[in-house]
């Protein structure tokens, strides 16, 4: 059976990978000339990589880690010390850490929180702990119910001092969905806390050892093609063509460089496109259906990823840093964190600018100038001096619509991978799975799509069982 998949992001590639395992022949069709979607990366004229986003892999990513193992590339994940490091805005150039000791969960998380006295006072820690009690008792059901509140409202409802939000959760909200606590759904924060506190290594972080396009996406493509599948770049799907009964007849492929459009047919069709282009492409006939109407409630959030190369080393920290800057979210000195970008003499900072709403239409020069101002606070020794570090070059990557904006109420708008159309499925981080909008969520969604296809359209009886175990936290698991 041929399965046509629109989109070669992690969701589309994961779907194709697991379909090949189950004996199907996937044909992945990617609009752009680069693999990876939101993990795509490019090499500049000097041979330096720049990326759509600074990407962190967590210990709490079971499906992603399983995929690395299946591809035999686990050694490409560079695991860092088990800690979270925050800049201290009141003392520029200094850091505060949450160190997770090597003891079982949730004690290592509790020890990390209790051990940090720079950011939270004892009464604040106690108040926050008490606030989490309903979540502990009621579990995942409660986490889902809290989707009606923003994180700011949730904290207020639990009498947690505003300082806790300011000290810790502005940085975490921006890192998780590129928006502030007054906008983000409580479900997102509670899900992250849940995974970080329930699993010993849940919050342990890894960097990939090079560009995600070459080091992660290409091995998936090699796996697929070695087993008879196909991945085509520069292959934009223009339209879903329908049969009279509303099922898909084919993908109309846009002809490039003056070539005529062509029809691609398959037995089954998957959209692994982000939700924004999917909504635009929905056929009129489908738009009347409640399943597809719900998608109107989902929309990508803007974000900007910056890469700044300097004439000297700014830090030796080999980890992700939470900037706690108004302008920026997380950042890392990639010359320390990533093997392929390593440089013992010069730093390359990769920084995420969020929320990016007010910046997305500004020029690269304006964005870099504002970021350089922030660096005076992050690295005063190197920028607020007579001999400031010199910016050698930069790349700015803007994504006006990235992952879906996880404001309160979005959970009800996330679709299942199976649709009401018998031969049409969805994959993508926005589809329903418990890891929200992340690389893990995208990978898991692709696996769930492959499983749904194998169940509904088996070629042999054993096919569905060829898709390895799907790891999703159980719905009744206690939160912390
Ligand atoms: C700045 C930034 C930082 C991030 N940091 C992290 C992180 O640290 N950890 C983490 O887990 N996640 C992170 N993410 C989120 C993560 O990158 C995404 O959740 C994930 O990669 C989404 O994968 P996807 O396959 O669902 O969608 P996408 O990657 O968007 O893939 C969709 C694909 O569909 C293609 N497409 C669109 N239209 C068509 C068409 N008409 N025809 C054919 N193809 C089409 C697109 O070109 C794209 O390749 C970050 C994202 C960004 C932007």
CA torsion angle 451 452 453 454 (round to 10) = 50
Mutate to test the pocket of ligand 1, among 173, 273, 428 (most ligand atoms within 8 A of CB): 273
Q: Is the CB of 56 under 6 A from ligand 1?
A: yes
Q: Is the CB of 354 under 6 A from ligand 1?
A: no
Report how far Cα 342 is from the mean position of its chain's Cα atoms. 24
Residue 32, Cβ density class (10 Å: 0-12 exposed, 13-18 middle, ≥19 buried): middle
Across the range 138-158, mean pLDDT stands at 94
pTM of the model: 0.96
Q: Is the CB of 10 under 6 A from ligand 1?
A: yes
Of all residues in the chain, the percent with pLDDT exceeding 90 is: 88
Which band of pLDDT confidence, cut at 50, 70 and 90, is reported for residue 468? Answer: confident
Across the range 286-298, mean pLDDT stands at 98
Q: Is the CB of 438 under 6 A from ligand 1?
A: yes
Looking at residue 114, the DSSP 8-state letter turns out to be H
Take atom 5 of ligand 1 and give the residue whose Cα is closest.
55
For residue 254 the two structure tokens come to 């846009």
Residues 19 and 448: their CA atoms lie apart, in Å, by 10
Tell me the pLDDT tens digit for each residue of 185-230: 999 999 999 888 889 999 999 999 999 999 999 999 999 999 999 9
Q: Which of 235, 309, 230 is nearest to 273 (CA)?
A: 235
Q: Which of 323, 351, 308 is nearest to 94 (CA)?
A: 323
Residues in the chain: 480
Residues 67 and 87: their CA atoms lie apart, in Å, by 33
Q: Is the CB of 205 under 6 A from ligand 1?
A: no
Q: Judge whether 29 and 264 are in contact, CB under 8 Å.
A: yes
Domains and CATH numbers, the chain: 2-39+211-297+407-466 (3.50.50.60), 81-203 (no CATH), 303-399 (3.90.660.50)
Is residue 474's pLDDT more than 80? no
């Amino acid at each position: 059976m041929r399965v046509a998949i629109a989109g070669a992001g992690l969701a589309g590639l994961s779907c194709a990978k697991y379909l090949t395992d189950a004996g199907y022949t996937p044909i992945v069709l990617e609009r752009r000339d680069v693999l990876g979607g939101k993990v795509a990366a490019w090499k500049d004229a000097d041979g330096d990589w720049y990326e759509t986003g600074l990407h962190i892999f967590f210990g709490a990513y079971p499906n992603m880690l399983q995929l690395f193992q299946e591809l035999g590339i686990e050694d490409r994940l560079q695991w860092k010390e088990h800690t979270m490091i925050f800049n201290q805005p009141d003392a520029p150039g200094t850091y505060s850490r949450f160190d997770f000791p090597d003891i079982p969960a949730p004690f290592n998380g509790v020890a990390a929180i209790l051990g940090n006295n720079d950011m939270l006072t004892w009464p604040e820690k106690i108040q926050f702990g008490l606030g989490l009690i309903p979540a502990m008792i009621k579990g995942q059901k409660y986490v889902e119910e809290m989707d009606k509140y923003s994180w700011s409202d949730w904290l207020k409802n639990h009498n947690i001092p505003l300082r806790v939000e300011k000290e810790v959760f502005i940085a975490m909200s921006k890192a998780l969905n590129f928006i502030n606590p007054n906008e983000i759904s409580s479900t997102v924060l509670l899900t992250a806390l849940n995974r970080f506190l329930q699993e010993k290594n849940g919050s342990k972080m890894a960097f990939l050892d090079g560009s995600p396009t070459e080091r992660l996406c290409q091995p998936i493509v090699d796996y697929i093609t070695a087993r008879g599948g196909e991945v085509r770049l520069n292959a934009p799907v223009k339209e879903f063509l329908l049969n009279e009964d509303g099922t898909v007849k084919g993908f109309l492929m846009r002809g490039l460089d003056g070539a005529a459009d062509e029809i691609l047919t398959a037995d089954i069709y998957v959209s692994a496109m982000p939700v924004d282009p999917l909504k635009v492409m929905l056929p009129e006939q489908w738009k009347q259906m409640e399943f597809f109407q719900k998608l109107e409630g989902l929309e990508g959030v803007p974000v900007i990823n910056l890469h700044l190369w300097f004439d000297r080393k700014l830090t030796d920290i080999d980890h992700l840093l939470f900037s706690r800057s108004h302008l920026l979210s997380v950042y890392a000195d990639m010359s320390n964190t990533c093997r392929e970008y390593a440089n013992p003499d010069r730093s390359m900072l990769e920084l995420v600018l969020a929320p990016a709403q007010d910046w997305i239409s500004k020029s690269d020069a304006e964005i870099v100038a504002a970021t350089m101002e922030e660096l005076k606070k992050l690295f005063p020794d190197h920028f607020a001096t007579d001999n400031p570090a010199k910016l050698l070059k930069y790349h700015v990557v803007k994504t006006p619509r990235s992952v879906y904006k996880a404001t309160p109420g979005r959970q009800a708008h996330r679709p299942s991978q199976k649709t009401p159309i018998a031969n049409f499925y969805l994959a993508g981080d926005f589809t329903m799975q418990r890891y929200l909008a992340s690389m893990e969520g995208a990978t898991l969604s692709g696996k769930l799509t492959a499983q749904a296809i194998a169940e509904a359209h088996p070629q042999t009886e054993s096919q569905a069982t060829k898709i390895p175990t799907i790891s999703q936290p159980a719905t009744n698991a206690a939160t912390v």
